Amino acid sequence: MTPRARLWAVELSLALVLVVASHAVPTWIADAVWLALPRARSLEYGNLHDLVSLAFGALLAVPTARQSGLTLGRRPTLAVVAVALAPVLATALVYPNLPTRPFAGQRIGMWLVSPFAQDLLFVGYLYGRFARLAPPTDARRPQAALLATCGLFALWHVPNFFTMPAGYVVFQLGYTFAGLCLTGLSRQWTRSALYAMATHVLVNFIAWMTP
């Protein structure tokens, strides 16, 4: 194995640990808070879990804010606007026609908090680490750092098989990978994670409000 391959193996191993931890740690903390502080139950458990997940992502991304894309980065071009808006328009057209719409009427954190928590970890922190190994260029297609991020982001949704219809989760794995490959181009081109975050919030909001 070459030194470069070893570095990638180490980074991907760390990333897999963080993907698992991003589920396990917030669940452990949310469970403890839920039991210890009865007043926390006014948030609903899911919203409490989302807030803890947000803190988990922030603890990783904020100390490395520049590397994690928590800046405006380069000035957005029309191409950036296009890749940011395309998933929003696609969701508005496709989601209302799906036979299964599991996010309709879910907790408010599903669109207001959870996207930020996920993107701080994936589009922010992990992409930033991968980009150190494979610095992105202005190429129009997703490059190594983005493809690795997209694969891990899709993998993060695998536990949904326990709570959602399997057919929908298979579809979800596909659209989360493809969707981030598209919206993540804004990260690749501008060095900022903020545009992908805005897209994620809007997409989840459409899914949440669609009956």
pLDDT digits (tens, 9 = 90+) for 95-121: 999 888 888 888 899 999 999 999 999
CB < 8 Å & 24+ apart, contacts of 159-167: 159/23, 164/102, 165/100, 165/102, 167/100
Nearest to 189 by CA among 30, 98, 82: 82
- Tokens 């470069």 sit on residue: 4
d(CA 207, CA 72): 27
Angle between helices 78-94 and 166-183 (to 10 degrees): 160
Give the residue extent of every domain in the chain. 3-209
d(CA 202, CA 164): 22
Q: What is the pTM of this model?
A: 0.94
Give percent of the chain with pLDDT exceeding 70: 100
